[in-house]
Chains A and B, each alone.
Chain A
Amino acid sequence: MKKSILMIAFAFLAAGAFAQGSVITNYFDKYADNDNFTKISVSSKMFSMFTEMEPGSEAQKEFMEAVSKLKGLKIVMVDSIPNARELYKKAAADVGKAGYDELMTVNDPDQSMLFSIKEKDGIINELIMVVGGKENFVLLSLYGEIDLKNISKIAQDMKVEGLQNLGRMHHE
């Protein structure tokens, strides 16, 4: 009996550990075969590339330092769907349910944004961004060791559509 309880407790703990990044993974799976949605995945290998490069300037050095601590980036995005607002609300609710801490929301008539994080021992290990416009929707997850001070640098230098919205967090 004791063994069973321990096993159940362990299963719950394990489920909690795997839950990280589950929101973006769910959306990746859900829209895997839907060609209207663009799915982008960048692994830690790509980010580790920056640690091996020779920085040309101080700005490049700062960018490389910030990026080299990242472990991955996943984006699900769509440009022209009629129910983008509903999709945004659903994703924002899913992020809330998954236990992310809300960092900032921007509610604009044209476009709404939500930034949430997962933090452990004072280190942010996942930043999730949800963007919903009239016809566009973006769900982005950046994971690894994230320093919020460097977010705008990463956003400016990595010219990935949707990611530039991260820069707004630094200014607002």
Chain B
Amino acid sequence: MSGSLVAFALLATAYFGVLATLGILASRRSSRSPEEYFLAGRGLGKVVLFMALFGTNCTTFVLVAIPAVAWQHGVGIFGLNAAVVALGVPLTFLLIGLPARAQAARLGALTPAELYAKKLDSKAVGLVLFGAFTLYTIPYMVQGVKGTALVMSQATDGVLPTWLSGLCVLMIVMLYTSLGGMRGTAWTNVFQGALFMLFMACAFVLIPMRMGGFGTAMEKVRAVDENLLRVGGDYALFQPTAWASWGLVISTTVIAFPHMLSRLLSAADDETTRSVCRFYPLALVALWIPAVLLGVLGRGAFPELERPDTLFYLMSEEFLPPWLGGVAFLAILSATMSTLDAQILTLSSMLVRDGLPSSSRSPRTEVRLGRIFIFAVAMCVYVLSLLWGDSLFDISRRAFEGYTTLVPTLFLGVRWRRFSASGAIASITVANLVLWAGWNFDGFALFGFLPVFWAFVAGILSAVVVSLTSGPRESS
């Protein structure tokens, strides 16, 4: 084994050791009740909640897929994604997350699907939401595992093949998630979020310096293709209506991630959520600017690449000192694992609370079932990650568009008194039918808007029309 591989193994062992320790520490409190295990007793404070949300929100999509897309299409990727997210994510946290937290606490709901089922007094709503959340979360998880396995395999020069890398990551995530529950994943997210933020800050300074300075590096990019330094070129999403549609998707989709909404349900109070909203844009900029510039500058350094998905790793290897290259690898692991843990925990909580027939289970049995489902979900994702062949960006994009179809229900469910269970089911069904039709048949991109835009509009209209015609629901 070469020296760099030994160093890599030591770094990875230390990293996994920290995560396992945090999971064990959290397990002392997490086994008491389902509320403690799945929602950290609804007591996450400002810093932990912020890092948990931010760590969960940032995946290999930002660290691996975004540099790859920026390598292809330039700085316009920042405006297309990050800028509008800086508005959309905090706004949806305020408009949906804030009332959802208060209402979930009042109704004793532990999962997003359970909240809406209780709020609308309909088990069917819970089941439909549970199905939709699962349908779109699984591909998103697969994207995370595939991305990490790819980087881990490259970092070890193929000593760890992709199938084994993915398995290792999932085993560690399973360990600390099943032990510590929500509190364990939130604590690990603080560590993981700090790690990848710190790495991106170092990379942002060091990589351009080693390329001869920011100015020289940018001139190299200009020489390759001037369009990379403005919103230009023939990228479909840079067309005005597609830009607007994608803005809608990327800014509203995050609140519909069940793992994000679950995190918001764990907030200690409203002021905690408000504080998160204030600082979210700053953290997004601090992470996305380096990610996009890494991709753009990478085009100057590597004008020809067969697989742009590998750019993050190539740039780290070429321009960073070896020890920091190892941290790059840990940053990728952190970004993926901080999302995977939340996704696995949320899916397992929904399986227990929404998927199983409700019966009088003891709190300890619910926690035990949650741990079993964590294992089942992780294994299911692992098998799919071996079978799925699409690119990371394509997988994420489909999942994001799918989540967007749920936003009308999530918003109206906590903000509109007339909203009914029939309206919720109609909204989710119609919006998803339109979206799937748009994916599979030409002609749905009316006036240049993406099919997801029309799915969103159809979701709102069906929610309003069906709710108004089905009569007011009784106040609970």
Verify that A and B bind, or say they do not. no
Q: Which residues of B come within 8 Å of A, CB atoms?
A: none
